[in-house]
Structure 1
Amino acid sequence: MEEKLTHAQLAKLILKNVGGSENIISYMSCMTRLRIEVNDKSLVNIEEIKGLDKVKGITMSGNICQIILFSELDKTYREFDKLFHDIPENTAVDSKPKSKRSPLDLILNFVSSVFTPIIPALIASGLIKAIVTLLASANLIDTTGTTYQLLNVVGDTCLYYYPVYIAFSGAKYLGCNQYLTALMAFIMINPSYTEMITGVTEAGKSYYSLFGLPIRAVTYTSTIFPMIAAIFGVWIVEKIIYKYMPDSLKTSIAPTLTILLSLPVCLGILAPLGSFLNDGFGIVFTWIYTNIPVVAGLLLGATGSFLVMFGCHMIPVVFAMTNFANLGYDVIYPILSINSVMVGFIALAIAFKSTDKKEKSYGITVSFVSAVLGITEPALYGIIMNHKKGLLSLVIVGGLYGAISMVLGTQTTALVSPVLGFPAYMGKVLPFIITMLVAAAGGFLIPVLLGTGDKDKIK
């Protein structure tokens, strides 16, 4: 029987079993997981961590260790963070990993580190926007009143200032000055800058002049890729300036020079390149959505749960965020979010067929957590991963409802679960209901028909 631990004790044991503070590059709270990037993954004691009280599972992808804690995450993270900051400066970590990281690991780590902290703001802003729109369409709120107007502002604010969120979050990951990077983002979305660009384009010009250099006339409000590119510009310029400038001048001169030199680098080269990527994604997405929606939905639905298991789910979420910024809605995220309904009902089916009282009780509990609250990890790691036909059901049902969702055009205006956040899915009500019913009914019936239960349990 595992020893009961306080959150402080658990944090200490986690730190010990990931190789100590000297083996940690970065760590963050990631919805239901403590996500730790390590120098040397061979020092991570997976089996020891897995057996700790309150730990529901652990995954290791490259140098990223993800410890699944569910409702215990917040308190454990606070203790872990407190513990880490109590470490003396002379034990600071070496940020160069000893084990080689693949390009995919680097991309996944960057994407998760930058975008995961932004999600709560997106959820709040997007859901408020959806509720206000729903109330207005039902004539339940006065659209000329200040309450409606203010709530509308709240709903639009997060996407408008999206580049600032990305800049602040990305700068933290790269280790450059967050406030200078955010300043660059504010410059790029400043209404005066947008007005200047509008004036340039209305005059029939594609470029304007900065220090005599031609700069492409582009606006960057609500964009993603231009700001991601610009982050690296500020990072490079700041690194060079702080490396060669005398210490006596760094406080007063370095910040000013960083911004002045970042302007041509970011606005002249990197942000326009990011803008081409933004436009390119829009073209590719439109082509896929128009020509092969069945294939796209089938693949995303069939692999959605496995993306969560391996910590890769933020990649399609970033593309969903791009659609929110470009279109105001998205058809990718409904497939990812309705996955929680499917997972919940698959877990319920396994619990229904199981003769193990403990598994039956746990399965019923986590099916509710997944289907209603939108948190899939308890069901995935605690039930479904233990059953071969449960895993097969993820692929079959996921592919089925994913294809249906994409063909029907199920859409959302916010990153919210389909049950608690249903107002965000009301843009197309019937496709949403059909997709939900297929995910729920298929999630329960397919594993039962396949014969899930005690016999298909993975030993």
Structure 2
Amino acid sequence: MSTVTALSQTILQGLGGSGNVHDIENCMTRLRIGVRDVDAVDVDALKAIPEVLGVIEDSTMQVVLGPGLVDEVADELGRLAGSEVRMGEDSTDVSAEALAARGAQIREDRKAKNQTPIRSFLRRIANIFLPLIPALIACGIIAGVNGVLINLTTRGITPWAADFTPALAALASGFMSLIAVFVGMNAAKEFGGTPVLGGAVAAIIPFAGIAKVTVAGQALAPGQGGVIGALLAAVLAAFVERWCRKWCPRSIAMLVVPTVTVLVAGLVTIYVFMTLAGWISVGIGTIANGLLAGGGAFAGFVLGGLFLPLVMFGLHQALTPIHTTLIEQAGYTVLLPVLAMAGAGQVGASVAVFMRARHNSSLRNTIKSALPAARG
């Protein structure tokens, strides 16, 4: 048995077994596991696992493992949970009504436990952007490498790269030019709609032909409103779609529901959301630049101090729309380097404790396990 398999089995047992797990996702450092009964989770057992760097209790349990390992464990957990569910299924027939009732009860229980409107909203925003992070990382690194090559080529140091940098620019910018579509698809799914309809409505925002549309005498610009506009558009599309399905006869639902959804949500996006989200985006950029330009060290202290608590609760991904908006406006985000200093300070403090606690092997082992994730 491999180490990853053994670790995954131990984590699954601590979560209350496969029957208590209904959803498994992961970000760069932590597992996000939806459980049916939080009380069935043995948090102390999970924290006692040497590879586990931390556990955050909620209806969606978060188990921190660190980069690299978390991807392997997530895949293995999915395989183990699926196989155990199949092997443990009751052979007796269960009615569709009973299954539906059980599912409804599980959903109600999950909503009732430890949920506040603000945390629920932030978690939904995080769920929308979480799947996009690998692509954002990849495109950001490629853009950085391309910038260095362009600078070196301009100075005559790497003339061979002149024909190669446009290809790297396309790789780095292609995803960002259509990020509104991906945000729209994820947002529609998160709010109970069809992903492709959310993407179709959000695709209006980067469409070049939108420049021919005028609102209140002003021509719209392709990309106006960015990801914020895409969020609003997709959420509205999800609500319109669900409303349509309540009254539309099934015989014509395939034609009527998507048409009404795209038409209504699309027109509202064009004539309301793009302008409104454009104002919000400009405001975010102005506030962020003004805060850092005028706030100095105090602004950095406040921002850095607030960031780690968000990370502890897994809500830091909710900041991604702000970072994305700043990247769309200026090509970079001024906030992320400041927020990253919180993690840098944490690493520095951990190294200091590691050097001082020479006789506390347990504490030093914990720090050694946590440092790779903190540096990442």
Sort the TM-score into its range (normalised by shorter chain): 0.7 to 0.9
Q: Is the 8 A contact 1:108 1:312 kept in 2?
A: yes
Question: Residue 10 of structure 1 corresponds to which residue in structure 2?
Answer: 10
Unpaired runs of at least 5, structure 2: 90-95
CA distance in 2, matches of 1:177, 1:127: 32
**2:26 is aligned with 1:29:** yes
CA change 1:120–1:105 in 2 (3 A) is same
Q: Find the aligned partners of 2:76 and 2:189 in 1 and give their Cα distance.
A: 21
Q: Could you tell me whether the CA contact under 8 Å between 1:10 and 1:53 is conserved in 2?
A: no
Partner of 2:178: 161
CA drift at 1:141? 4.2
Q: Normalising by structure 1, what TM-score?
A: 0.68
Cα 1:294–1:341 shift into 2, 3 Å: closer
The 2-side partners of 1:183 and 1:145 are apart by 36
Which one-letter code corresponds to 2:130 in the other structure? T
- 1:298 partnered with 2:269: no
Counterpart Cα distance in 1 of 2:172 and 2:158: 15
Q: Distance in 2 between matches of 1:84 and 1:239?
A: 31
- Whole-Å separation in 1 of the counterparts to 2:320 and 2:261: 32
Aligned length: 352
Structure 2 distance, partners of 1:221, 1:149, is: 25
Instruction: Report whether the alignment pairs 1:74 with 2:71.
Output: yes
Secondary structure of the 1:329 match is coil
Q: Letter of the aligned partner of 2:296 in structure 1?
A: P
- The more displaced of 350-359 and 272-281 is 272-281
Deviation, 1:271, is 4.0
Give the 3-state SS of the residue equivalent to 2:52 in structure 1. coil
After TM superposition, the structure 1 = structure 2 runs for residues 79-228 of structure 1, keeping only pairs within 5 Å, are 79-82=76-79, 90=99, 92=103, 94-96=106-108, 97-99=111-113, 101-139=115-153, 140-142=157-159, 145-193=162-210, 195-197=211-213, 200=214, 205-206=217-218, 217=220, 219-220=222-223, 223-228=226-231
Aligned 8 A contact 1:32 1:69 in 2: yes
Q: Does the aligned pair in 1 maintain the 2:197–2:262 contact within 8 Å?
A: yes
1:363 aligns with 2:376: no
Residues 257-285 of structure 1: per-residue CA shift (max 9 Å, x gap): 32122222332334433333223222322
Q: Return the alpha-carbon distance in structure 1 between the equivalents of residues 136 and 224 of structure 2.
A: 16
Q: Distance in 1 between matches of 2:161 and 2:367?
A: 48
Match of 2:20 in 1: 20
Deviation at 1:143, TM superposition (A): 8.9
* 8 Å contact from structure 2 (residues 188, 194) kept in 1: yes
Between Structure 1 and Structure 2, which shows a larger proportion of helix residues? 2
How far has the Cα of 1:221 moved from its partner? 5.3
Q: Which amino acid aligns with 2:331?
A: G
Matched letter for residue 156 of structure 1: S
CA deviation after TM superposition for structure 1 residue 185, in Å: 1.8
User: In 1, distance between residues paired with 2:103 and 2:276?
Assistant: 36
SS in 2 for 1:55: coil
Distance 1:107 1:227 in 2: 16
**For each residue in 1:15-39, what CA deviation from the matched residue of structure 2 results, as whole angstroms up to 9, or x when unmatched?**
4269814xx5x54212111113556
Which stretch of structure 1 is more off in the superposition, 38-47 or 344-353?
A: 38-47
**Which runs of 5 or more structure 1 residues have no equivalent in the other structure?**
208-216, 376-459
Q: Say if 1:232 and 1:115 are closer, same or farther in 2 by CA, change over 3 A.
A: same
Distance 1:174 1:333, change over 3 A: same
| Superposed CA RMSD | 3.1
Q: What displacement does 1:346 show?
A: 1.9
Q: In the alignment, residue 55 of structure 2 is paired with which amino acid?
A: I
Could you tell me how far apart the structure 1 residues matched to 2:62 and 2:4 are? 21
Instruction: Tell me the equivalent position of 1:341.
Output: 344
Q: Percent identity?
A: 21
Contact 2:225 2:275 in 1 (8 A): no
Relative to the length of structure 2, the TM-score reads 0.81
In structure 2, the CA distance between the partners of 1:318 and 1:188, relative to structure 1 (3 Å rule), is closer
For residues 14 and 322 of structure 1, the distance between their equivalents in structure 2, rounded to whole angstroms, comes to 40
Q: Check the 8 A contact 1:307/1:313 in 2, yes or no.
A: yes
Deviates more, 1:32-41 or 1:247-256: 32-41
Helix, strand or coil at the partner of 2:246: helix
Residues 233 and 273 in structure 2, CA contact (< 8 A), matched pair in contact too: yes
**1:448 aligned partner:** none
Partner SS for 1:65: strand
Give 3-state SS (helix, strand or coil) of 2:226's partner.
coil
Deviation digits for residues 158-178 of structure 1 (CA, Å, limit 9, x no counterpart): 221121121122223223111
Change (3 A) 1:252 1:332: same
